[in-house]
Structure 1
């Protein structure tokens, strides 16, 4: 586990902290012909060596660096095919971490993977999944009749309300699990402050009531999920 953590740390430093925007732009424009692509891989090789701190393990650093080069090069050519550029970005990071994982646990990959899955807290996984998209859809169904009566003449980011709801429910679930109920009150207060100007400018009682009901339902679902989880423990 320690080797895996060290190599992932080296990867994160190399990919996010030691890769200037200038390099990224140059790589996207020139792809395999970009000198910064190979300089980026060299940085990873050096970082892997530093974190391994054993010259005799140079082959580990070389193998992972070559794997990094192949994945990055594939990403440069595949990215233009995606309308949503975040998809190849996350796929790229998943492949990098997966490569490190497979390499570190190659001799007992199946046993390690099975142990990892068997060690998961599945009720917690269920709780986390439920308070995300499933809860958002349930809320949409519950408030469907009310939402049809609200005039949405204000500009808003696409699906911003859904994402805000998911994040706030994850926070509430976390606070309940760690026993910090007072933090939920702070979260409600913070949301009320941010929403105050919108409600004041709209001067709509229906919108105010709709947001209040939506907030209470959202927090209620998260609290109920949290209580069910901790009662299971």
Structure 2
């Protein structure tokens, strides 16, 4: 596990801290002919060796570095197929983590992976999944008849309310799991402060009631999921 953590650290430093924006732009423009692509890979190899601090592990560092090169190259040439540029980014990062995991536990990869899945807290995973999109859909159904009476704010970001709700429910679930119920009150208070000026300027009672009901339903679903998990 220590090797895996060190390799992940090396990846984070190499991909996010020691990779200037200039390198990223140059790689996207020149792809396989970009000199910074090769510098980037060599930097990763050096970071892995430095953090592992064991010359006998050079083959692992080399395999990960070469795999990093291939994954980055695939990303550079597939970027144009995605309208949402965050998709290839997350796919790229996911593949890097999988590669590092396979190399770190190559001696007992199957056994370690099997043990990892067997030890997963499936109840917690179910609760986490529930408070994301399923809860958002449930809220949409509950508030559907009310939303038709609210004027649409075209200045709002697309789906911003949905993502805010998902994030706040995840926070609520986390606080319940770790037993910090008082923080949930602070979270409600913080959200109320941010909403106060907006509601005050509009002076729209229907909107105020709609937001209040939506907030309570959102927190209620998260609390329900948390209570079912800890019970």
Normalized against structure 2, the TM-score is what? Answer: 0.98
Match of 2:216 in 1: 216
Indicate the larger mover: 51-60 or 1-10: 51-60
Query: For residues 105 and 181 of structure 1, what CA distance do their matches in structure 2 show?
Result: 38
Query: For residues 134 and 195 of structure 1, what CA distance do their matches in structure 2 show?
Result: 25
Match of 2:2 in 1: 2
Please list every run of at least 4 consecutive aligned residues from structure 1 whose deviation after the TM superposition is greater than 4 angstroms. none
What is the DSSP-based 3-state SS (H/G/I as helix, E as strand, rest coil) of the residue aligned with 1:47? helix
**Structure 2 alignment gaps of length 5 or more:** none
Query: After superposition, what is the alpha-carbon deviation per residue over 1:17-50, rounded to whole angstroms, capped at 9, x for unaligned?
Result: 1000010000000000100000000100100100
**Pairs within 5 Å for 1:121-200:** 121-200=121-200
Match of 1:95 in 2: 95
Match of 2:49 in 1: 49
Q: Tell me the matched-pair count.
A: 231
Normalized against structure 1, the TM-score is what? Answer: 0.97
Query: For residues 153 and 178 of structure 1, what CA distance do their matches in structure 2 show?
Result: 37
Match of 2:38 in 1: 38
**Pairs within 5 Å for 1:73-92:** 73-92=73-92
Indicate the larger mover: 49-58 or 120-129: 49-58
What is the DSSP-based 3-state SS (H/G/I as helix, E as strand, rest coil) of the residue aligned with 1:41? helix
What is the DSSP-based 3-state SS (H/G/I as helix, E as strand, rest coil) of the residue aligned with 1:38? helix
Is 2:218 the counterpart of 1:228? no
Distance apart, 1:108 and its partner CA: 2.0
Query: For residues 110 and 48 of structure 1, what CA distance do their matches in structure 2 show?
Result: 24
Question: How large is the Cα RMSD of the aligned pairs?
Answer: 0.9
Query: For residues 108 and 45 of structure 2, what CA distance do their matches in structure 1 show?
Result: 25
Distance apart, 1:154 and its partner CA: 4.2
**Structure 1 alignment gaps of length 5 or more:** none
